[in-house]
Amino acid sequence: MKNITSVLTWILLVAVGYLFFAHFSNPASGSKEKAEITVKEDTPKIVYVNGDSLLNKYAVFQADLKALETRSKGMESTLASRGRSLQQELIAAEQKAQSGQWAPAQIQKEQQRLMQKQQSLVAQQESMSKQLLDERQKLQENLEKRVKELLTAIRKEKGYDFILNYGPGTGVLMVNDSLDITKVVLEKLNAKQ
């Protein structure tokens, strides 16, 4: 305890000494005001955009996303229909094989045909999934490009040093609502339609 008290006393003496030196070594009070003005001018201009709101309220992006979702549902429906058709063919072939209507060679030929059809269906499903993924990625890239171009223009126009993305998972924990430019960005994005 005695050791902690002596360390705290020493720190306090150093701090008082520094304040004493800083106060009396300042040649004029005018330069202090000048220093404060310089600090204020050098303070970076920082604003932010709420990324979630931008995605949810950007009309072109939402329309493109909805069109992609409609295409996805159409593809799923097509695949489901083909899957049901294949299932019915499998059941019919099994019934014919069990009832003795087909010879072993014919059963084997039908199994190969149905297996090829199933492989074709799986390949089509993978192809459609890849196509949808590629389209979604392209949508995302177009969005990023549009937003970046607009933010660059806004940054130059307003003289901002930083434009941050605020939202879940962004690393920005707290913001001052007066620095939010999301509404302005959305108005400009939606006006470019």
Return the DSSP state at 178.
G
pLDDT in tens, 49-59: 998 998 899 99
Average pLDDT over residues 21-35: 54
**Which residue is it, tokens 């970076």?**
44
pLDDT in tens, 134-182: 999 999 999 999 999 999 999 999 999 999 999 888 888 888 899 999 9
Confidence tier at 22 by pLDDT (50, 70, 90): low
How far apart, in Å, are the Cα atoms of 111 and each of 38, 90, 96, 101?
Answer: 83, 9, 12, 15
The pLDDT of residue 174: 86
Is there a contact between 49 and 182 (Cβ–Cβ < 8 Å)? Answer: yes
The pLDDT of residue 123: 95
Rounded Cα distance, 46 and 181, in Å: 10
pLDDT in tens, 103-130: 888 989 989 999 999 999 999 999 999 9
Q: How many CA atoms lie within 13 A of 105 on its CB side?
A: 0
Q: How many residues make up the chain in this entry?
A: 193
